[in-house]
Structure 1
Amino acid sequence: MKAIILAAGHGSRLLPLTLTTPKCLVEVGGRAILDHQLDAVAAAGFEGAVIVGGYRIDQIEAHLRACDYGLPTDLVFNPFWSTANSIGSVWAARAYLEAPFALMNGDTVFDPAILRTAMAGGTEEVALLVEPLVDAGLDDMLVETVGDRVIAVGKHLVGHAATDRSLGLIVSQGGTAYAEALRAVIGEENGIHAYHHAVVARVAQGPGVTAVRIASGAHWQEIDRPEDIALWEGDHGR
């Protein structure tokens, strides 16, 4: 299984840190977000990683060349990073989507245990890692589940009752379900402005998506604003 890391965006909410630096290279606890991710990917036993870059991709390329994570890495360019939403980065990585993969946002750090859970996958071809919803934040991607089956995914679940929130970690054990749903969603009117979770929602309406819940106490943190850096460093004694 390969990790696919979506790291093309500007990260405007982390300004001024991202004024001259791509978001994935912003330091958290003295190391780039991407370093934390790739170390966790290697520790979890993935066979490689694909990083989708866009904004200041030359810096990402130089950073990858200078580091040894113990696993092969490929860098893919998303030329639509400034005009499309996150689905554009998934489209840029479409060549990798019929083999087993775990797709994650480039601004989220995970304990390796969470990534090992992701590798185990679920009973369906596609799985989404979730945790029980306590208090929904403004940026949370909400999920409705029944048992271990995903019913709906979105920022706003009109007509649905949110039970969980997504970690932004999507897993496929191989096959065409996810790639076919991607083509369908991005081909719709304004499809390039969709969040990539819209692909999961499409699969949930057809072949089905397994909700995989992380263990209680497993740690992850989305680094979206400067205060998120402080939260992570506080949790890790940095």
Structure 2
Amino acid sequence: MKAIILSAGRGSRLLPLTAARPKCLLDVGGVTVVRHQIGALARAGVDDITVITGFLPHLVEEDVARHGTNADVRCQFNPFYQIADNLASCWMARGRMTSDFLLINGDTLFEDALLERVLSAPPAAVSVTVDKKAAYDEDDMKVTLRGTQLMGIGKTLNHSETDAESIGMLRFMGDGPRVFTDRLEAMMRSPEGVRSWFLKAIDGLAKSGITVETCSIEGCTWSELDTPEDYEAVRSLFG
């Protein structure tokens, strides 16, 4: 199993913490965010990891070089990071999407048990990792479900359409990598491609009739890192 970590962004909502370093290099208990992710992946047996860089790539490359695991880890620079959203980062990594892989947001931290649950979930071409809570806000990547199947995903879903939220971790198996990269290619050739989130591709797949499954990780520990308040929570959970 491969993994691709999307770490091209700066994290402007975390300024001034990210004035001179991207948020994937923020310290959590003496270890950077990206090395927390690499360590968890390596412990789970994921031995081929690509980190997509953008803002201050040399700093990320230097940090990743100290990952200290047995995994084969490399960085790939996305030169469009300042003008494009993360669909372009996925497109840059499409050459690594030739077999089963995980796709992970660079600001998602998670415990080992969560990753183990995702990797051991029933086989599916495309599987989105989701969690549930009592209420969702405008910043959550909300999900509409029919059973375990994803029917829609986006931040603008209203309350009646929302059954869960995406945590920023997806698994592609079998025909899934080809289906996803075909969608990436088509979207990047459209006028709005560079301004799109990669989860818009997943929404498009689901609405076109492609089966998109979900894996619930309710009860597992995870956190995203977007704001100073998130950073305090992350350090409390993983520091």
- Name the TM-score, length of structure 1 as normaliser: 0.93
User: CA 1:160–1:194 in structure 2 vs 1: closer, same or farther (change >3 Å)?
Assistant: farther
Q: Which runs of 4+ in 1 moved over 4 A?
A: none
Which has the higher mean CA deviation after the structures are superposed, 61-70 or 74-83?
61-70
Q: Is it true that 1:150 corresponds to 2:153 in the alignment? A: no
Give the equivalent residue in structure 2 for 1:182. 184
User: CA 1:120–1:202 in structure 2 vs 1: closer, same or farther (change >3 Å)?
Assistant: farther
Please give the alpha-carbon distance, in whole angstroms, between the structure 2 residues aligned to 1:161 and 1:197. 17
8 Å Cα contact 1:101/1:174 also seen in 2: no
Which has the higher mean CA deviation after the structures are superposed, 184-193 or 216-225?
184-193
Q: Which amino acid aligns with 1:38?
A: I
Deviation at 1:231, TM superposition (A): 1.1
Please give the alpha-carbon distance, in whole angstroms, between the structure 1 residues aligned to 2:29 and 2:219. 20
The C-alpha deviation readout for 1:197-233, integer Å capped at 9, x for no partner, is 011112212321001111x321011011121121123
8 Å Cα contact 1:121/1:173 also seen in 2: no
Please give the alpha-carbon distance, in whole angstroms, between the structure 2 residues aligned to 1:100 and 1:124. 10
- Name the TM-score, length of structure 2 as normaliser: 0.93
Give the equivalent residue in structure 2 for 1:24. 24
Q: Which amino acid aligns with 2:203?
A: A
8 Å Cα contact 1:107/1:222 also seen in 2: yes
Which has the higher mean CA deviation after the structures are superposed, 141-150 or 224-233?
224-233
8 Å Cα contact 2:3/2:103 also seen in 1: yes
Deviation at 1:154, TM superposition (A): 0.7
Percent identity between matched residues is 32
Q: Any unmatched runs of 5+ in structure 2?
A: none
Partner-residue secondary structure (3-state), 1:66: coil
Which has the higher mean CA deviation after the structures are superposed, 51-60 or 40-49?
40-49
Partner-residue secondary structure (3-state), 1:62: helix
Equivalent pairs counted in the alignment come to 236
